[in-house]
Amino acid sequence: MGKRGQKQGIHSRATRKQIFRIYLIQAVIGIGLSAALLLKDTVTAYSALLGAVLYLIPNLYFASRALKSNPNQSPNTALVELYASEIWKMGISIVAFAAVFILVKPLNPFSLFVTFILMQISGWIAQMNLNNRFLKL
């Protein structure tokens, strides 16, 4: 038992739930933006959808690996896992971007990168809005 009678790992489970809720919001934003851009052009729409997917897949991998609930894990092991997860996330991102630019023709790079950046910004905004402790500062 941890502080105040709580089980160990309860904070990490709550954080994991909150992070995956943010990713769900971002997925809805990406699909909605892609659907709206479908009115403009098909290439722009699927490029935007690919930008959202290129953001979500590596970040989902990172979150699922870094936020595993293991109460017996030492702080050093948790830190090693965090760094390893980040390295794998970057590797997945590099390979995914390379694959998209090599395999997908035609592609609208502006739409892809704008959506990727929008997903990053929406994650920051969602994290600030969902984290009540941050808003109390």
The pLDDT tens digits of the residues spanning 77-133 come to: 878 888 889 999 999 999 999 999 999 999 999 999 999 999 999 988 888 877 665
Between residues 64 and 7, the one the model is more confident about: 64
- Once rounded to an integer, what is the mean pLDDT over residues 20-41? 92
- pTM for the full predicted model: 0.82
Residue 110 to residues 46, 96, 100, 115, 119, Cα–Cα distance (Å)? 12, 17, 14, 8, 14
* CA distance linking residue 92 with residue 64, whole number of Å: 14
- Contact of 46 with 112, CB cutoff 8 Å: no
pLDDT at 6 over 70: no
| DSSP at 7 | P
The closest alpha carbon to 65, from 83, 51, 53, belongs to: 83
pLDDT band at 44 (very low <50, low <70, confident <90, very high): very high
